[in-house]
Amino acid sequence: MLDMLLCIIPKINPDAPTVGPAVLKATLEKSGYSCKVLDLNIRLFREFEKHGDKQYFFENDRVFKKDIDDNDFFRDEILTKYEYVIDQWMEEFKLLNPKFIGMSMLSSYSRAIATILSYRLRHEMPDTKIVWGGAEVTHRTKQYLDNGMIDFYVWGDGEQAILDLMAGNYDAPGINKDATQLEDLNTVEIPNYDDIDWSQYHELKFKKPVYVTGSRGCVKRCTFCNVYEIWPKYTFRSGESIAKEIITVREKYDRETFRFTDSLINGSMKAFKTLLEGLSEYRKTYNDDFTWVSQWIIRSKRQFPEEWYRMMKEAGCEEVEIGMESFVQKIRYDMKKKFTDEDMWFCLEMLQKYKIPSTLMMIVGWPTETEEDHQQTLDTVRKIYDLGWATSKADDGKTPLIWFSFANTLMLDETQPLWQEIKDDLDYYNDEVDWSYKGNDLETRNRRFKEVNDLIKELTGQKKSWMFMKKEAEIQNKLTEVA
């Protein structure tokens, strides 16, 4: 009998498996337990692809966003059409006959599939224990434990918790209770991807990607973010440990682009420097051109001088995703994302100089955002194009070094520290999208969102991005609901 079957639950991007199940497989097998990983996400993507439905993995959130009971489209359309896929999975589960089935859930987009699988398992394999884990698991998961849908949930780091489950230590930290963290991430095993068929993955932006985790948590406490719920303390691995994993996975599985899952890669400057030195040395010694991408934070020129950007390039940095959030300094300070305009422009200048592309992740509609702030956002976008840092024409043959990700207006809910700051001054609150703070209402935010995306479209001469089309659909749906 198999001890643990770990399933990657849809939906996530179909370009690579999540790293968590591979790490847990290595952890379990080192301790003498048997484990198999099934990537149900890529299997479902390929089925959607066969039937011409793969857009649901990229453009249409409503398919996966909610529980089945709240999702008529998923229940009545998608589940009916693809019930045969669930049937196939259930037959495979029965053949493997595991003691535990662990469902790795990266976000709320995993909830619909996890729910239907748990329901089927409860009725068809009652002796198998059902475990939910991953970033989607929080204190809100307790309702699924209370209604009998699952046997356990693991909140926070799972490496020790999964061993406690195997040993029957069900009262251990992190199991059916508040999140727990590993004190030393250097003890985390190198992921085991032996169950993965890499030929099945659908490359999106990067060549042969694979995920790697160098840290957990964040050094910042931005008021719109709830990362602190999962990892209250920022912890990180040594640069030597991360480099060892990258090199091992590179050599064993022929991966070429390493995508860090970290909220930021440059939280510990000491570890980051050691990582850059280790990767640079390996790339030079073996003439290897593998690359990596990550999120990171803007630091001051004093903390992060020009030399660091040169080291990043030599170490194979292909792109950084920057949580810029706003081009307005006072708004960033409201967010507790405290870097100055001077820091911002120095960072962008250095990335241009060393030809490191960047994606600027932005938020439209911060509660205190004014029309003057919105105009500054538009002016800054124009300035970046005028500087030639982003491609200004669709057919000029250049690759832009800066992309803008104005993907959403601000979503506001009770999990954010921001909620506690402004809840008493809200004009009204219908849901996370439809709220108003001192006149900053949904209509105003949607107008600003449209104006900034229209400007980018004008400057690039390109069609709307899928993110903007998705947002337009969300706005239309909201208007329909209101009507």
Contact between 191 and 244 (Cβ < 8 Å): no
The pLDDT score that the predictor gives to residue 482 is 41
Phi and psi for 179 in degrees, rounded to 5? -60, 150
pLDDT at residue 150 greater than cutoff 50: yes
Per-residue pLDDT at 61:
60
Question: Which one has a higher pLDDT value, 290 or 61?
Answer: 290
pLDDT at residue 74, rounded to an integer: 74
For residue 464, the model assigns a pLDDT of 46
pLDDT in tens, 428-439: 999 999 999 999
Phi, psi of 357 (to 5 degrees): -65, 155
Q: How many Cα atoms are found within 13 Å in the side-chain-facing hemisphere of 65?
A: 12
Locate 360 and state its tokens: 């600027």
pLDDT at 386 over 50: yes
CATH 3.40.50.280 positions along the chain are: 4-181
Q: Residue 73 has what pLDDT? A: 72
For the cut 50, the answer to whether the pLDDT of residue 475 exceeds it is no
Q: Where are the alpha helices (DSSP H) in 257-390?
A: 269-285, 306-314, 329-334, 341-353, 371-386
Residue 395 predicted with pLDDT over 50 = no
Residue 460: predicted pLDDT: 82
What is the per-residue pLDDT for 179? 74
Residue 187 to residue 183: CA distance in whole angstroms = 9
Most confident of 25-29, 63-67, 72-76, 111-115: 25-29
Which range is most confident: 220-229, 384-393, 440-449, 474-483? 440-449
Say which range, 208-212, 291-295, 334-338, has the weakest mean pLDDT: 334-338
Mean pLDDT across 29-57? 94
pLDDT score for 65: 67
Considering the segment(s) 186-482 as one domain, its CATH architecture is Alpha-Beta Horseshoe (3.80)
394 pLDDT more than 70 = no
What number does CATH give the domain 4-181? 3.40.50.280
Whole-number pLDDT of residue 59: 65
- Work out the average pLDDT over 399-427: 88
On the question of pLDDT at 481 being above 50, the answer is no
Query: Which segment of 4-18, 59-73, 344-358 scores lowest on mean pLDDT?
Result: 59-73
Q: What is the pLDDT of residue 66?
A: 62
97-148 residue pLDDT tens: 999 999 999 988 898 899 999 999 999 999 999 999 998 998 889 999 999 9
Q: In Å, how far are 33, 106, 126 from 1, measured between CA atoms?
A: 11, 27, 15
Contact present, 85 and 47 (Cβ < 8 Å): yes
How far is residue 294's CA from residue 283's CA, in Å, rounded to a whole number? 18
350-375 mean pLDDT: 95
Question: Could you tell me which residue, 476 or 113, shows the higher pLDDT?
Answer: 113
Model confidence at 199, pLDDT cuts 50, 70, 90, reads: very high
Q: Residue 40: in which H helix or E strand, if any? A: helix 40-50
Say if residue 399's pLDDT is above 80.
no
Do the Cβ atoms of 339 and 348 come closer than 8 Å?
no
Lowest mean pLDDT among 27-31, 294-298, 397-401, 458-462: 397-401
Given a cut of 50, whether residue 479 has pLDDT beyond it is: no
Mean pLDDT rounded to a whole number for the chain: 89
Between 67 and 427, residue with greater pLDDT: 427
- Span of 21-35, 41-55, 219-233, 239-253 with lowest mean pLDDT: 219-233
Average pLDDT of the segment spanning 410-433:
92
- Amino acid at the residue 2: L
Task: Of 29-38, 174-183, 261-270, 469-478, give the range with the top mean pLDDT.
Answer: 29-38
Mean pLDDT (whole number) for 204-224: 87
Q: In what order do the strands lie in the sheet with 358-364?
A: 209-212, 257-260, 291-296, 317-325, 358-364, 402-409
Q: Is the pLDDT of residue 33 over 90?
A: yes
Strands 257-260 and 291-296 turn out to be parallel
pLDDT mean over 13-32: 97
What is the model's pLDDT at position 216? 84
DSSP 19-38: HHHHHHHHHHHHTT--EEEE
Residue 67: predicted pLDDT:
67
Listed in order, the ranges of the chain carrying CATH 3.80.30.20 are 186-482
Phi then psi dihedrals of residue 64, to 5 deg: -115, -5
Q: Is the pLDDT of residue 220 over 80?
A: no
Lowest mean pLDDT among 205-209, 324-328, 471-475: 471-475
Q: What is the pTM of this model?
A: 0.87
Q: Is there a contact between 239 and 282 (Cβ–Cβ < 8 Å)?
A: no
